[in-house]
């Protein structure tokens, strides 16, 4: 029998990182409508860091959460609408708002060893009857067994699907295989994989995840996302189909949606450039790219040094203030570019 893989498209959420969270109504509506026509099962929308995250620290969005949700909900007739929330940025009130605006799938994300932070929010979602997923960020910082144990906790709290984000684009296929295999053996719900392309491995890693038992795979049009971007959706889907997995997505519709995304959402598709490679090697959150470039540029510090130092300190998403400290210390030591 052909194995089924559910495709989850966070283009309108993760892609916000690449344009400093400035997508407008027409952009959201047109891409969401194209996804709906193509039969993409889940279209995720929101600030790059999720519900409630629009702020000076990580960037103010051009639109409120409510406006983004209402716009995408109106554009979807068949596809489900997904949202993402990080405890600490978002609150139960933000979840209520998302559900009131028709969110069908809600993901709660935590650091890879801190699943307990999702307990209250997953419990709330369970009480409302919403479809709730739990995902672990920066998953290269934990062993396969640790991730399996954390995912089992997420299921205990009420998650109906669980999985990992390769937030730094650090994995190679064997790394993904080991982790997805361990998680799939520990839980009886669908397993999720979300890749980033810092080392050019996102499609290969996603295929490895599917082969190891992941039932939900993320991908973004033209890879539109933080840093070097995400798994390129219009490549991922036909590769999965060639390997015997069924996605139910119309190929021409998918390609049309990707063309719309390139034309209307981004100045240019993301590329795996020198800084992205360093970010992947260092194991640093891809969303740090813009603040690292800004702060290092003003101080005359080599951004590659900043990424490697952030990696040494095991910086995680939400610790953007640490970039300021690292840049200041490198500058004080005289490690500036001429």
- Per-residue pLDDT, 286: 75
Q: Does position 338 have pLDDT exceeding 60, yes or no?
A: no
pLDDT per position as a tens digit, 249-297? 999 999 999 999 999 999 999 999 998 999 999 999 877 888 899 999 9
Give 41 or 333, the one with higher predicted confidence. Answer: 41
- Sequential DSSP letters for 63-118: S-HHHHHHHHHHH-SSSEEEEEE-BTTB-HHHHHHHHHTT--EEEEEEETT-GGGG
16, 17, 121, 196: which one is catalytic? 17
Spatial distance between the Cα atoms of 85 and 47, rounded to a whole number of angstroms: 9
Active site residue 17: yes
Q: Beta-carbon neighbour count of residue 332 at 10 Å?
A: 10
Convert the pLDDT of each residue in 174-210 to its tens digit. Answer: 999 999 999 999 999 999 999 999 999 999 999 999 9
85-102 tens-digit pLDDT: 999 999 999 999 999 999
Tens of pLDDT, residues 1-51? 679 999 999 999 999 999 999 999 999 999 999 999 999 999 999 999 999
| 312, pLDDT greater than 80 | yes
* Whole-number Å distance between alpha carbons of 256 and 79: 16
Distance from C-alpha of 124 to C-alpha of 47, rounded to nearest angstrom? 22
């Amino acid at each position: 029998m052909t194995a089924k893989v559910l495709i989850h498209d966070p283009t309108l959420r993760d892609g916000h990182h690449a344009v400093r969270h400035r997508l407008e109504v027409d952009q959201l509506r047109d891409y969401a409508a194209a996804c709906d026509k193509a039969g993409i099962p889940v279209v995720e929308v929101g600030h790059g860091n999720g519900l409630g995250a629009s702020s000076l620290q990580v960037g103010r969005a051009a639109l409120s959460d409510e406006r983004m949700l209402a716009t995408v909900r109106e554009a979807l007739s068949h596809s489900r609408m997904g949202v993402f929330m990080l405890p600490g940025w978002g609150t139960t009130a933000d979840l209520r708002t998302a559900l009131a605006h028709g969110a069908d799938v809600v993901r709660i994300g935590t650091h890879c060893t801190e699943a307990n932070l999702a307990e209250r929010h997953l419990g709330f979602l369970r009480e409302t009857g919403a479809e709730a997923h739990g995902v672990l960020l920066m998953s290269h910082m934990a062993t396969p067994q640790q991730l399996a144990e954390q995912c089992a906790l997420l299921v205990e709290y009420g998650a109906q699907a669980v999985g990992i984000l390769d937030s730094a684009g650090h994995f190679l296929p064997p790394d993904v295989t080991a982790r997805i295999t361990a998680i799939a053996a520990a839980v009886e719900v669908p397993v999720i994989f979300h890749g980033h392309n810092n080392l050019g491995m996102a499609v290969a890693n996603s295929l490895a995840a599917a082969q190891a038992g992941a039932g939900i795979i993320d991908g973004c049009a033209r890879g539109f996302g933080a840093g070097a971007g995400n798994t390129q959706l219009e490549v991922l889907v036909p590769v999965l189909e060639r390997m015997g997995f069924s996605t139910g997505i119309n190929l021409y519709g998918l390609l049309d949606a990707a063309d719309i995304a390139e034309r209307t959402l981004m100045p240019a598709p993301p590329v795996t450039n020198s800084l992205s490679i360093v970010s992947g090697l260092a194991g640093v959150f891809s969303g740090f790219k813009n603040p690292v470039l800004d702060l290092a540029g003003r101080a005359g510090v080599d951004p590659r040094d900043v990424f490697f130092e952030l990696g040494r300190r095991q910086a995680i998403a939400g610790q953007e203030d640490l970039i300021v400290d690292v840049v200041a210390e490198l500058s004080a030591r005289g490690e500036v570019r001429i």
